[in-house]
């Protein structure tokens, strides 16, 4: 069985390490990016993760901008994404973010939402 690769896009080192550890412990492979630009470059190199887990506010862009760039590219448009944010749900929805995980979150909630996301796309 092919391992499930998750692209984790998070600029905060502590959050990145914590979420990455949770994903690895759950048996996922993890690729990381600290900015939207790094994530997009990784994807444009031909990598195709099973899903992306994206921090909403990054130094160079929002998750919305990254998702818009992915939607505009037929090779990337189908990659499902879950946005992590402390913003209010209605604010995220207004910015086009449909799937999100409210920060702070419990590791079990992360696993639950990621499992749901992967099931929706399989």
What digits encode the pLDDT tens for the residues 71-82? 999 999 999 999
SS3 82: strand
Question: Cα separation of 9 and 53, whole Å?
Answer: 6
Question: What residues does 51 pair with on adjacent strands?
Answer: 6
Enter the tokens of residue 75: 């090779």
Tell me, yes or no, if the pTM score tops 0.75.
yes
What digits encode the pLDDT tens for the residues 112-122? 999 999 987 66
Are 81 and 53 contacting, i.e. CB atoms less than 8 angstroms apart?
yes
Phi, psi of 35 (to 5 degrees): -140, 165
120 Cβ contact partners less than 8 Å away, ≥ 6 residues apart: 80
Ranges of each domain in the chain? 5-121
Pick the CATH number of 5-121 from 3.40.50.300, 3.20.20.150, 2.60.120.40, 3.40.50.2300: 3.40.50.2300
Residue 59 pLDDT greater than 80, yes or no = yes
Question: What residues does 84 pair with on adjacent strands?
Answer: 55, 101
Enter the tokens of residue 94: 């207004």
Least confident of 4-18, 55-69, 87-101, 106-120: 87-101
């Amino acid at each position: 069985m092919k391992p499930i690769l998750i692209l984790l896009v998070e600029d905060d080192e502590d959050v990145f390490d914590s979420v990455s550890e949770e994903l690895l412990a759950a048996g996922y492979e993890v690729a990381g990016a600290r900015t939207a630009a790094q994530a997009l470059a990784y994807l444009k190199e031909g990598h195709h993760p099973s899903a992306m887990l994206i921090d909403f506010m990054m130094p160079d862009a929002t998750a919305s901008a990254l998702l818009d760039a992915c939607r505009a590219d037929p090779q990337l448009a189908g990659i499902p994404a879950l946005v992590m944010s402390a913003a209010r749900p209605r604010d995220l929805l207004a910015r086009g973010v449909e799937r999100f995980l409210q920060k702070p979150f419990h590791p079990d909630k992360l696993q639950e939402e990621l499992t749901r996301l992967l099931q929706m796309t399989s």
